[in-house]
Amino acid sequence: MLVLARKCGEQIVIPEAGIVLTILQVSGERVRVGIDAPAELSIHRREVWERIQRASESAVAVPSTPSTPCPSI
């Protein structure tokens, strides 16, 4: 893990992915981070990403019911 110290207004750049992280505010133990990234990249908080993964895994685990074929015309 790379650990960087940044002040408010300073940025971290990940050029290969087109991502720029900007430190917006530091208040006590909370840090607000702005993320500028290409629209095709999904960015989530870890707890949200874990919920998405669990939902995806449970959707795969549930057997699908056979669909009723459409009647011929």
Task: Tell me the three-class secondary structure of the chain, residue by residue.
Answer: CCCCCCCCCCEEEEHHHCEEEEEEEEECCEEEEEEECCCCCCCCCHHHHHHHHHHHHHHHHCCCCCCCCCCCC
Mean per-residue pLDDT, 9-15: 98
CB neighbour list of residue 35: distance below 8 Å, 6 or more residues apart: 19, 20, 21, 22, 43
Predicted pLDDT of residue 9: 97
Predicted pLDDT of residue 60: 76
pTM: 0.71
Query: What is the pairing mode between strands 19-27 and 11-14?
Result: antiparallel
Residue-wise pLDDT for 36-49, tens only, equals 999 999 999 999 99
